[in-house]
């Protein structure tokens, strides 16, 4: 059964455009132009996510959110408006809004947000999402470590660059643990405002602060019995780190404005791309919290160190994107495959996924060619060990090596190769080098 999204927007053209985007990705969508219409929809239909403008002809998005709280309707709510104001954002978050976006909200931004809330922050991980099976030695080592630590209740700290798939490792740990039938809750610590961190993590009682019209569960409540994944833990405010440490030490917490302790029945898995020793030295991260979180450390390798995974991952994302975008594709040309292998992927798996999605959308042929990939052969991002070199002419390879040796400085490269700069530019254009 398709999950249904409610768009509350008085700009009919805009709501229709957003509806089209979402329906093309397999979601069911219904719309409402004002607050009364939205209430009627919520009473009559099973809605999984609400996307609401703030300013409406009748009522507004904040009042709709307040009504939802009074009616005890538990649906993720996202506020979208071109009239951005910090007080409205704080109020919306305190009332339980999951996000606050400023228009214009672009297609990819909207689809990523919807995917996040309906798939990753739904609180319950039920194993539906397929985890891609990687075969490179470093990725296999990481997977073995995840499965090894999963049956224990040790806290795990996952280290790695942005876009390497640290959440996938966290989900694997959850899936292979004794808590796999309980919730998996993913929290982006970098998106938590400092003044709201305690409320979001531990919940709050009704009347705990101005705007707290109803009691609210925190992430520790939502993850009860399961796994709480704290992504970007290195960005958590220092003051909140102290509170989190106490909770981990005592296994209890108290919601903001309450006086009753609750048992913290969760398994903590955290992740960061920070240089933790440096952050500790700069007093941005507590050393005692680091030792508490890092009972077991796993390092997720960057994609450039796992070249065996690039083409299988690209194929996986091609099939996934073809289904979502309703495009007929069959694979990649030899040249496109060589291009994929030649690039160092500084944005890692996330960048690869985005490039493939774009290529699937742009290609006019079943077989994807290099020109659809949006990957220039930038000399700073070419892998020196890439099999792409196998298909290069000696001249092209010499130019690439010279460019890398000079840091991309073209005049010095020309001098190194013994040619004039004009000849170098002409040859770079010939070989598609940037």
Output the domain CATH number for residue 91. 3.40.50.2300
Between 315 and 45, residue with greater pLDDT: 315
Q: Are residues 374 and 252 in the same domain?
A: no
Q: Are residues 340 and 221 in the same domain?
A: no
In the three-class reduction of DSSP (H, G, I as helix; E, B as strand; rest coil), residue 415 is classed as helix
Q: Give the domain extent around 57.
A: 4-119
Q: Is the pLDDT of residue 26 over 50?
A: yes
Task: Report residue 325: phi and psi, to 5°.
Answer: -95, 0
Residue 124 placed within a domain: no
Q: 């059964």: which residue's tokens? A: 1
What pLDDT, on a 0 to 100 scale, did the predictor assign at position 88? 67
Q: Are residues 278 and 148 in the same domain?
A: yes
What pLDDT, on a 0 to 100 scale, did the predictor assign at position 121? 39
What pLDDT, on a 0 to 100 scale, did the predictor assign at position 146? 95
What pLDDT, on a 0 to 100 scale, did the predictor assign at position 298? 97
Give residue 31's pLDDT band: very low, low, confident or very high (50, 70, 90).
very high
Query: Exposed (0-12), middle (13-18) or buried (19+): which is 311, by Cβ within 10 Å?
Result: middle
Between 303 and 210, residue with greater pLDDT: 303
Residue 129 placed within a domain: no
Residue 194 placed within a domain: yes
Between 256 and 63, residue with greater pLDDT: 63
| Mean pLDDT computed over 232-245 | 89
What pLDDT, on a 0 to 100 scale, did the predictor assign at position 127? 37
Helices (H), 158-213: 166-175, 197-202
Helix (H) or strand (E) holding 213, with range, is none
Q: Are residues 317 and 222 in the same domain?
A: no
Can you tell me the distance from the alpha carbon of 158 to that of 145, in angstroms, rounded to the nearest whole number?
A: 11
Q: Are residues 248 and 321 in the same domain?
A: no
Q: 């959850």: which residue's tokens? A: 174
Between 54 and 92, residue with greater pLDDT: 54
The CA-CA-CA angle for residues 234, 236, 242, to 5°, reads 105
| Mean pLDDT computed over 217-231 | 90
Question: Residue 314's domain is classified under what CATH number?
Answer: 1.10.8.60
Q: Are residues 289 and 341 in the same domain?
A: no
The total number of structural domains in the chain stands at 3
Q: Are residues 312 and 296 in the same domain?
A: no
| Mean pLDDT computed over 98-124 | 70
What pLDDT, on a 0 to 100 scale, did the predictor assign at position 261? 86
Can you tell me the distance from the alpha carbon of 425 to that of 434, in angstroms, rounded to the nearest whole number?
A: 9
Residue 229 placed within a domain: yes
What pLDDT, on a 0 to 100 scale, did the predictor assign at position 378? 52
- Cβ atoms 210, 87 nearer than 8 A: no
Q: 């099999």: which residue's tokens? A: 387
Q: What does the block give as tokens for 127?
A: 């194993």
Domain endpoint, select from 72, 93, 119: 119
Give residue 85's pLDDT band: very low, low, confident or very high (50, 70, 90).
low
Q: Are residues 266 and 277 in the same domain?
A: yes
Q: Are residues 282 and 320 in the same domain?
A: no
Residue 128 placed within a domain: no
Q: Are residues 256 and 203 in the same domain?
A: yes
| Mean pLDDT computed over 386-390 | 44
What pLDDT, on a 0 to 100 scale, did the predictor assign at position 329? 93
Question: Residue 171's domain is classified under what CATH number?
Answer: 3.40.50.300
pTM: 0.60
Q: Are residues 86 and 144 in the same domain?
A: no
Mean pLDDT of the chain: 83
Q: Is the pLDDT of residue 393 over 80?
A: no
Q: Is the peptide bond before 104 cis (omega within 30 degrees of 0)?
A: yes
Q: Is the pLDDT of residue 43 over 80?
A: yes
Q: Is the pLDDT of residue 283 over 90?
A: yes
What pLDDT, on a 0 to 100 scale, did the predictor assign at position 39? 93
What pLDDT, on a 0 to 100 scale, did the predictor assign at position 387? 42
Residue 126 placed within a domain: no
Residue 132 placed within a domain: no
Residues 124-183 have pLDDT tens digits of 333 334 456 788 899 999 999 999 999 998 999 999 999 999 999 999 999 999 998 888
Domain endpoint, select from 273, 301, 329: 301
Lowest mean pLDDT among 182-196, 241-255, 337-351: 182-196
Residue 131 placed within a domain: no
What pLDDT, on a 0 to 100 scale, did the predictor assign at position 148? 96
Query: Exposed (0-12), middle (13-18) or buried (19+): which is 75, by Cβ within 10 Å?
Result: middle
Residues 314-373 have pLDDT tens digits of 999 999 889 888 889 999 998 888 889 888 899 999 899 999 999 999 999 999 999 888
Strand partners, 343: 382
Helices (H), 28-136: 35-44, 61-70, 86-94, 107-115
Domain endpoint, select from 246, 276, 301: 301
Between 107 and 317, residue with greater pLDDT: 317
What pLDDT, on a 0 to 100 scale, did the predictor assign at position 303? 94
In the three-class reduction of DSSP (H, G, I as helix; E, B as strand; rest coil), residue 193 is classed as coil
Q: List own/partner pairs for 80-85 with CB under 8 A and 24 or more apart.
A: 80/9, 80/51, 80/52, 80/53, 80/54, 80/105, 81/53, 81/54, 81/55, 83/54, 83/55
Each residue of 227-261: b (16+ CB within 10 Å) or e?
bbbbbbbbbbbeebbebbbebbeeeebbbbebeee
Q: Are residues 293 and 308 in the same domain?
A: no
């Amino acid at each position: 059964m398709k999950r249904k999204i409610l768009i509350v927007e008085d700009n009919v053209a805009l709501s229709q455009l957003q509806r089209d985007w979402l329906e093309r990705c397999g979601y069911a969508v219904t719309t409402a132009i004002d607050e009364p219409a939205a209430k009627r929809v919520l009473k009559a239909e099973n809605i999984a996510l609400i996307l609401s403008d703030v300013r409406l002809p009748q009522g507004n998005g904040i009042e709709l959110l307040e009504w939802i709280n009074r009616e005890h309707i538990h649906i993720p709510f996202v506020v979208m408006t071109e009239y951005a104001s910090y007080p409205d954002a704080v109020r919306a978050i305190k009332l339980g809004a999951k996000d606050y976006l400023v228009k214009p909200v672009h297609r990819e931004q909207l689809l990523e947000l919807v995917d996040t809330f309906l798939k990753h922050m739904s609180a319950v991980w039920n194993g539906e999402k397929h985890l891609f099976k990687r075969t490179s030695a470093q990725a296999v080592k990481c997977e073995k470590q995840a499965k090894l630590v999963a049956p224990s209740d040790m806290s795990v700290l996952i280290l790695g660059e942005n876009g390497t798939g640290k959440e996938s490792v966290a989900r694997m740990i959850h899936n292979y643990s004794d808590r796999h039938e309980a919730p998996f809750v993913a929290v982006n610590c970098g998106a938590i405002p400092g003044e709201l961190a305690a409320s979001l993590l531990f919940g709050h009682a009704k009347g705990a602060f101005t705007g707290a019209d109803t009691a609210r569960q925190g992430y520790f409540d939502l993850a009860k019995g399961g796994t709480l994944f704290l992504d970007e833990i290195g960005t958590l405010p220092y003051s909140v780190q102290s509170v989190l440490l106490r909770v981990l030490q005592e296994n209890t917490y108290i919601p903001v404005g309450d006086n009753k302790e609750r048992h913290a029945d969760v398994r903590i898995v955290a992740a960061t791309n920070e240089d933790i020793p440096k952050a500790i030295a700069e007093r941005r991260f507590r050393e005692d919290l680091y030792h508490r979180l890092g009972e077991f450390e796993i390092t997720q390798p960057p994609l450039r160190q796992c070249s065996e995974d690039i083409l299988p991952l690209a194929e996986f994302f091609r099939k996934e994107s073809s289904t979502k975008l309703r495009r007929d594709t069959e694979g990649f040309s030899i040249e496109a495959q060589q291009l994929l292998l030649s690039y160092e992927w500084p944005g890692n798996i996330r960048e690869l996924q985005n490039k493939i999605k774009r290529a699937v959308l742009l290609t006019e042929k079943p077989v994807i060619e290099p020109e659809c990939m949006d990957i220039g052969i930038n000399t700073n991002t070419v892998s020196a060990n890439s099999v792409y070199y196998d298909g290069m002419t000696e001249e092209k390879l010499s130019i690439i090596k010279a460019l890398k040796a000079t840091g991309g400085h073209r005049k010095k490269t020309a001098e190194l190769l013994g040619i004039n700069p004009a000849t170098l530019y002409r040859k770079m254009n010939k070989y598609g080098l940037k």
